[in-house]
Amino acid sequence: QSALTQPASVSGSPGQSITISCTGTSSDVGAYNYVSWYQQHPGKAPKLMIYDVNKRPSGVSNRFFGSKSGNTASLIISGLQAEDEADYYCSSYRGSGTYVFGTGTKVTVL
Amino acid sequence: QVTLRESGPALVKPTQTLTLTCTFSGFSLSTSGMCVSWIRQPPGKALEWLARIDWDDDKFYSTSLKTRLTVSKDTSKNQVDLTLSNMDPVDTATYYCARMSGGLFLDYWGQGTLVTVSS
């Protein structure tokens, strides 16, 4: 049961935009519009940032944007801020009630 | 206000069975569409989805751990249990429970509980 593939790290300066990719297969990311993204600060529980590919929960900044093309989903963070420094994980439904997470990306604000 | 909290042993020996409890408030697992999932995260590593139990008692498991996992619920107590048999040091991780409410995403998470497997 392979994890979705994410870059290990992405960095950017304050105010810049960064993109985190999440590559799966035609059995998960490519098959369903059920990709979600989670932010995790050190020692904390993950927090939902994006669901159903591009929907933002109430309270999440509109600087976070999600998209998908084929088997790859993306999280774009615009206007990068110091508080955005964290680990980010994508997740996708994989059918038959099962899910898969990505390998995780560490975002560094320079 | 939705809250979830995991509880269970912090240390288990190899070959033992781990039982964790997720106690939640702010929602009912008897409500249509409600589900609770378990996720774990080894130290310094990625999240791994383990299992899900639905309001109608449907259960779903990670393919790779299916033979070792059992999930159950006690709706009257607002609790969901996870058991993982034949524990091994590689099962050392922080275990989280999280809610799904009508969608295929985890909208509320517990704080997690660290379980160490060591003799």
Q: Model confidence over A40-71: pLDDT tens digits? A: 999 999 999 999 999 999 999 999 999 999 99
Do A46 and B106 make contact, defined as CB atoms within 8 angstroms?
Answer: yes
What is the distance in angstroms between the Cα of B76 and the nearest Cα belonging to chain A?
Answer: 24
Surface of B (59-118) touching A: CB under 8 A: 60-64, 96, 103-107, 109-112
Q: Which residues of A20-30 are buried (b: 16+ CB within 10 A; e: fewer)?
A: bbbbbeeebbb
Cβ A67 vs Cβ A60: under 8 Å? no
Q: Model confidence over A77-106: pLDDT tens digits? A: 999 999 999 999 999 999 999 999 999 999
What is the distance in angstroms between the Cα of A86 and the nearest Cα belonging to chain B?
Answer: 13
Do B47 and A38 make contact, defined as CB atoms within 8 angstroms?
Answer: yes
Query: Residue A33: what pLDDT?
Result: 96
Task: Return the DSSP state at A82.
Answer: G
Q: What is the CA radius of gyration of chain A?
A: 13
